[in-house]
Amino acid sequence: MAAFGDPSLRWRQPVLGPPRMKDSWILAFLAGLGLCVMAAVVSQQWYRFSTGRNDFTPLYSGAYLLERGNLYDQADLLAVEDERAAFHSVEHGYIRLPFHAALLWPLSRLPYPWAYGIWQLASLAALGGFLALWRPPAFWELAVWTSMSFAVLHVWLKGQDVLFLLLVIAATAKLHESKHPFLAGLAFSLCAAKFHLFLLTPVLLLARRDWPLLRGLLTGGAGLAALSFAAAGPRWPLQFLESALNPSFSPGEANMPNLHGAVALLPFPWAWEMGGAALAVAAVWTVARHSDFRLGLAASLLGGLLLSRHSYLLDCAILLPACLTVMYEARNRACRVAAGLLLTPLSAAAIGVGAPYSSVVAATTLAVLVGWALERRSEAAPSLERTEAAPVAQRFAAGA
Residues 272-300: tens digit of each pLDDT: 999 999 999 999 999 999 999 999 999 99
Please give the model's pTM, rounded to 2 decimal places. Answer: 0.89
Q: Flag the least confident range among 80-94, 98-112, 302-316.
A: 80-94
Helices 293-307, 269-289: crossing angle, 10 deg rounding? 170
Q: Which residue has the higher pLDDT, 310 or 169?
A: 169
3 state SS of 349: helix
| The pLDDT of residue 218 is above 90 | yes
Q: Which long-range contacts (CB under 8 A, 24 or more apart) does 212-216 make?
A: 212/181, 212/182, 212/185, 213/176, 213/181, 213/182, 213/184, 213/185, 213/188, 213/293, 214/185, 215/182, 215/185, 216/181, 216/182, 216/183, 216/184, 216/185, 216/186, 216/187, 216/188, 216/189
What confidence score (pLDDT) does residue 25 get?
72
| The pLDDT of residue 362 is above 90 | yes
Distances (CA, A) of 342 to 78, 247, 311: 36, 28, 15
44 band by pLDDT with thresholds 50, 70 and 90: confident
Q: What is the mean pLDDT of residues 12-39?
A: 62
88 band by pLDDT with thresholds 50, 70 and 90: confident
43 band by pLDDT with thresholds 50, 70 and 90: confident
Of 390, 381, 389, the C-alpha closest to 3 is 381
Q: Flag the least confident range among 104-108, 271-275, 341-345, 392-396.
A: 392-396
386 band by pLDDT with thresholds 50, 70 and 90: low
